[in-house]
Structures are given as structure tokens and as C-alpha cells.
């Protein structure tokens, strides 16, 4: 009988392991649509810039396509990597954050542009390290929230540790300096802590203390003060500090309802700085109008909303690491898109943040693709787990008292007496119950130590 019990359990485990998942179609569709729109708009907005720099009209388009292809390769690798493998290296990923931020200050490796040391020289291209740091930090924080989920909600030290890590990373970013990415990293940290179940009254104290300090750091640099004053009234110094925002607003105004037509933008002809990167949304507004703006915003809403929904379902199935990774990627994409769009519309002060998947850029495109590949992997493993659970429920014995309960001796006797009416052969009911319990633990893992 023991042999038949083991054989039945083994067959059921094999059937479950053979079940594969599916990537979320809505999520994948939104990603492809944004990437395709980005290719079109980079081509449209960069022709005049390429000719002005004597590098050819399609230089920036070819460069964008190359990085998009490399990013697709990173995304494919992330989509095929088990999340438990990623979680295993969480401590090394955090160490990688500090190493990358320190490399920009190493002579011969770090590269300075316009007085800012944010890049490392890879020979063929420069890489902005903060783009990788954001993704690595999200994975580490997701693992931390799994391992100390109860402590984060109940104790001060567990809550303050990720805040302390974030402050150290922000301090290294401010030395570059990179105030925009620092703000984004702090916002991601706060959002993930809240979604991870932190005690909100306790969380409010660091926020109340930190906001005035961060505001004081922001006004220490004169150029940040000029950006703030030009944001409040860009027309006061239209040819000086308000030049970028005033030209961006003119581009948005010219677009009206349906735009001036693809490729017909005037502001991109050497009037609007960084038309293919930081201010590409203004070119979209000018050429595609209000309809194009709504399309872009709608695609981001679909992508981010779907990511939050996937994360919520993961947490409901006790796949906490997967859920927190989805939350982190959703926060990073939504906050960066919000800041970029807000800068172009004059809602926020000018910051050097690109529009995810749309703006031209090497580091941003690569790491955004990698992050979205991780998000698609989360959707795949969620679908796989849901289908495995559905299979388990469909094959569970009718008379079993509970999927994870051990049948009593009397129950086993009743199972033998009513064997012809059972869907499983005589003598395998207890094995199926024990197998179901073990398989359910594998299908719905906690993904870390829970205190």
C-alpha cells in the first residue's frame, strides 16, 4: 500500500509540474504599444538634432533601436528566470547598489557630463548607474519585506532599516548630484513600505521629519532654486532659466485636439532642448495633440494598473516576494512617467527624468526593459500557480475532510468501504490528501522567512 501511495502522489506532482503559466496579455500589449510609439516618436523628434550635430538624421533612432533590442534580450532573460533564484541573491543585489554608485567616483571608470558624475564608461557607451540601482533596490526591498513582514509592522528597527538604506543611497546620489533620482528612490521606498503593511502612524514620523530636511537640501544649490523660480513663471525669463519650459508649453499649446501631424513639429527644430529625451512628451503633444496625450497616459494607466492588480493577486496567494516586486516596478514606472509628463506640462519643476519606454536613451531603455521582464515573470508564475491550484481542487477526493488534513483511521475505513464511488482507487485517498498538502505548500510559497 505504501508503494501505491507514493506512486499516486508522485504522478500527481508530475502532472502539476508539467503545468506552465502564461504571460499577462494586457500587460504585454501595453509594453509593446509604448515601445512601438517610442520608436516612432524618437524617429520624428531626433532627425533635426542628428543633422544639427552632423551625425546623420537617423543616428539617434538607430541608437535607440540598438538599446531596445538589447533591452528586449534582458527582458527575455528575466522572463525565463525563476523568482526564487532572483530572491536568493538579494543581499548581493544590495551590495551591487553601493558598488555601482561608488564606481562613478573612481577615476578612469566614472564619467562626468556638465559637472555631474552619474555615468560609468563602458567603452562603446556610457551607463547611468542609478537606472540599475533602482531595479536592484526594488528586488532587495521586496525580499526584506518578505523576511521581516511582521516586524516591519510592529517594531521601529525593522521599519527604519530600509529607510536607513535608502538614505545612504540617496546621500551617494546627491554627491553626483542627482536630486530627481533621489526623490524617486525615496518615494519608491515609502510606497513599498506602505503596501508591505507598515504601521502608518509610525511611518508618518520619518516623513514629517524628512520632508523639511529634503526641501532644505534642494534649495542649497542655486541651480535648483532657478529651476523652481522658472517653474513658477517661465515667461519672466523666457530666453534664460525659463527657456525649456516655455518652449515645451508652446509645443503643447500648438497641438490642440489632434496635433499638427506626425513629423510636423516646429518646436523640435532646435527650439526645444532634449526633444528626443526629457521633452519628448511635448513633441507628442504637438504632433498628435490631446488625443495622442490621452493615448500615452492611457497606456501607462493600463500598464501600471495591471501591475498593481497582479501584485495584489500574488499577495492574496501568499506569493509575497512576487507581489512586492510587482508593486515596486509599478511604483517606479508610474512615478517616473508622472514626473516626466508633469515637467513637460509645467506641473512640476524641470527634472532630468526620461519617459519610460518612449524617450531615447541607453541606460533607461535597458533597465526599464529588464524591470518589465521581471514584471512579466511575476505574471507568468502567478498564472502557473493559479492553474496548479485549480488542478488540485479539481482532483481532490470528494470525501476528504480538508485538502491539508490527515484522514482519521475511521475515515480510511469508510474510504475503503465506499471505494467504487470514489474517483481515486482504493487505498490512495490518504496519499492524495498528504500529496495535496505538500503540493499546495509548493504552489503557494511564502517566498521567505515569516516571523
208-235 pLDDT, tens per residue? 888 888 888 877 777 777 777 777 888 8
The one-character DSSP state at 408 is P
The one-character DSSP state at 109 is T
Residue with cell 500598464: 303
pLDDT at 11: 59
Confidence tier at 7 by pLDDT (50, 70, 90): low
Query: Residue 163 above 70 pLDDT?
Result: yes
Cα separation, 385 vs 416, in Å, equals: 32
Length of the chain: 451
Compute the average pLDDT of residues 105-134.
86
Compute the average pLDDT of residues 235-248.
85
Q: Is 193 a member of any domain?
A: yes
In this predicted model, what pLDDT tens digit does every residue of 389-444 receive, in sequence order?
888 887 544 333 444 444 444 444 344 444 444 444 444 344 444 444 434 443 44
The one-character DSSP state at 366 is H
Peptide bond just before 58 cis, omega within 30 deg: no
Cα separation, 72 vs 67, in Å, equals: 8
Q: Is 258 a member of any domain?
A: yes
Confidence tier at 319 by pLDDT (50, 70, 90): very high
- The answer to whether 17 and 439 have CB atoms below 8 angstroms apart is no
Cα separation, 252 vs 311, in Å, equals: 35
Q: Is 447 a member of any domain?
A: no
Q: Is 1 a member of any domain?
A: no
pLDDT at 2: 55
The whole model's pTM is what? 0.83
Q: Is 203 a member of any domain?
A: yes
pLDDT at 355: 94
Q: Is 371 a member of any domain?
A: yes
Instruction: Give the other-Cβ count within 10 Å of 27's Cβ.
Output: 23
Number of domains in the chain: 1
In this predicted model, what pLDDT tens digit does every residue of 257-315 receive, in sequence order?
999 999 999 999 888 888 999 999 999 999 999 999 999 999 999 999 999 999 999 99
Higher local confidence (pLDDT), 332 or 440: 332
36: domain range? Answer: 25-382
pLDDT at 154: 85
pLDDT at 233: 82
Q: Is 309 a member of any domain?
A: yes
| DSSP, residue by residue, 269-305 | TTTSTTTTTTTHHHHHHHHHHHHHHHHHHHHHHHHHH
pLDDT at 4: 54
Cα separation, 23 vs 101, in Å, equals: 33
pLDDT at 362: 87
Q: Is 239 a member of any domain?
A: yes
Confidence tier at 9 by pLDDT (50, 70, 90): low
Confidence tier at 14 by pLDDT (50, 70, 90): low
Average confidence score pLDDT of the chain: 84
Confidence tier at 123 by pLDDT (50, 70, 90): confident
Phi, psi angles (nearest 5°) of residue 448: 155, 175
Query: Residue 83 above 60 pLDDT?
Result: yes
Which strands sit side by side in the sheet containing 110-113, from one edge to the other?
Answer: 110-113, 116-121, 126-128
- Region of 209 (left: φ > 0; alpha: ψ -120 to 50; beta: rest) is alpha
Higher local confidence (pLDDT), 1 or 266: 266
Compute the average pLDDT of residues 338-352.
89
Cα separation, 328 vs 193, in Å, equals: 10
Q: How far is CA 84 from CA 2, 81, 96, 148, in A?
A: 32, 9, 19, 17
Helix (H, G, I), strand (E, B) or coil at 111: strand
pLDDT at 10: 57
Kindly compute the dihedral angle of the four CA atoms of residues 98, 102, 104, 108, in this order, to the nearest 10 degrees.
-130
- Specify which residues 2 forms β-bridges with: none
Closest CA to 101 of 132, 75, 80: 132
pLDDT > 90: what percent of the chain?
A: 54
pLDDT at 128: 92
Amino acid at each position: 500500500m505504501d508503494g501505491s501511495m507514493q506512486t499516486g502522489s508522485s504522478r500527481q506532482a508530475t502532472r502539476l509540474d508539467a503545468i506552465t503559466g502564461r504571460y499577462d496579455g494586457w500587460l504585454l500589449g501595453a509594453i509593446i504599444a509604448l515601445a512601438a510609439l517610442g520608436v516612432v516618436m524618437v524617429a520624428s523628434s531626433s532627425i533635426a538634432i542628428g543633422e544639427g550635430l552632423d551625425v546623420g538624421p537617423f543616428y539617434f533612432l538607430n541608437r535607440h533601436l540598438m538599446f531596445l533590442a538589447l533591452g528586449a534580450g534582458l527582458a527575455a532573460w528575466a522572463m525565463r528566470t525563476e523568482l526564487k533564484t532572483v530572491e536568493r541573491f538579494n543581499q548581493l543585489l544590495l551590495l551591487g547598489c553601493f558598488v555601482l554608485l561608488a564606481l562613478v567616483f573612481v577615476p578612469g571608470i566614472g564619467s562626468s557630463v556638465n559637472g555631474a558624475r552619474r555615468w560609468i564608461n563602458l567603452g562603446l557607451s556610457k551607463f547611468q548607474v542609478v537606472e540599475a540601482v533602482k531595479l536592484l533596490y526594488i528586488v532587495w526591498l521586496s525580499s526584506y519585506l518578505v523576511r521581516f513582514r511582521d516586524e516591519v509592522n510592529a517594531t521601529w528597527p525593522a521599519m527604519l532599516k530600509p529607510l536607513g538604506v535608502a538614505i545612504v543611497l540617496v546621500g551617494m546620489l546627491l554627491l553626483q548630484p542627482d536630486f530627481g533620482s533621489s526623490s524617486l528612490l525615496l518615494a519608491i521606498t515609502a510606497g513599498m513600505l506602505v503596501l508591505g503593511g507598515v504601521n502608518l502612524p509610525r511611518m508618518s514620523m520619518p516623513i514629517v521629519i524628512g520632508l523639511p530636511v529634503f526641501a532644505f537640501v534642494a534649495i542649497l544649490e542655486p541651480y535648483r532654486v532657478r529651476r523652481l523660480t522658472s517653474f513658477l513663471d517661465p515667461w519672466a525669463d523666457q530666453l534664460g532659466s525659463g527657456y525649456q519650459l516655455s518652449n515645451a508649453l508652446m509645443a503643447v499649446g500648438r497641438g490642440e485636439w489632434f496635433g499638427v501631424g506626425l513629423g510636423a513639429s516646429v518646436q523640435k527644430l532646435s527650439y526645444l532642448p532634449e526633444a528626443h529625451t526629457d521633452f519628448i512628451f511635448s513633441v507628442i503633444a504637438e504632433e498628435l495633440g490631446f488625443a495622442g496625450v490621452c493615448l500615452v497616459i492611457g497606456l501607462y494607466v493600463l500598464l501600471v494598473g495591471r501591475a498593481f492588480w497582479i501584485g495584489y493577486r500574488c499577495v492574496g496567494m501568499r506569493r509575497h516576494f512576487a507581489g512586492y516586486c510587482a508593486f515596486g516596478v509599478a511604483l517606479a514606472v508610474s512615478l517616473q512617467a508622472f514626473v516626466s509628463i508633469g515637467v513637460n506640462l509645467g506641473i512640476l519643476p524641470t527634472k532630468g527624468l526620461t519617459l519610460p519606454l518612449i524617450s531615447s536613451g541607453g541606460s533607461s531603455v535597458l533597465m526599464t526593459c529588464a524591470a518589465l521582464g521581471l514584471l512579466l515573470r511575476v505574471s507568468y508564475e502567478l498564472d502557473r500557480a493559479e492553474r496548479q491550484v485549480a488542478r488540485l481542487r479539481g482532483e481532490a477526493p470528494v470525501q476528504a475532510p480538508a485538502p491539508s488534513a490527515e484522514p482519521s483511521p475511521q475515515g480510511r475505513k469508510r474510504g475503503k468501504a465506499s471505494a467504487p464511488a470514489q474517483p481515486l482507487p482504493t487505498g490512495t485517498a490518504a496519499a492524495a490528501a498528504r500529496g495535496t498538502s505538500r503540493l499546495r505548500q509548493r504552489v503557494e510559497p511564502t517566498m521567505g522567512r515569516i516571523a
